[in-house]
Amino acid sequence: MNEQHQDERTRIRTAMDRLLARQATAFNGSLTVVALAAEADVHRMALMKRHADLKNEFYERVRTETTQVPESEKRLRETASQLKKTIKNQTTEIEELRQQVTRLALAAAVLTQGKDVPSEPVSLPDNVVPFRLRLR
């Protein structure tokens, strides 16, 4: 590791300690990666990409030392909950639509069946002989 990389890691660890001790100096003190990056004076993407292990360590420390769930995890859980509700609603709607399709198909069959069968016998002229098919 080069010196700049090691310096960033040291600043991130120091910033982690300050945030967890609620002694933030550069940011609002929230327990997020954005706050950690600002507190350590490191670009957020550098923290996310080059120092992903420190980001994970920070979230783990937030979870264990403060008995809090990180904000990103809260948002993910909320989104997952909303998506589960949406899926449940859509599944119910799909089932209702399937039942409606079945009912409509049956109604259409009854209506078309009724048109094929004349309600009164058809009288044929005297010179017409009905042709009957025999099925084998």
CA 58/CA 52 separation, integer angstroms? 10
The 10s digit of each residue's pLDDT in 118-136 is: 566 667 777 777 666 666 5
The 10s digit of each residue's pLDDT in 14-64 is: 988 888 888 878 777 778 888 888 888 888 898 888 888 988 898 888 888
The 10s digit of each residue's pLDDT in 64-79 is: 887 777 777 788 889 9
CA 112/CA 49 separation, integer angstroms? 67
Helices 3-20 + 52-65 axis angle, to 10: 20
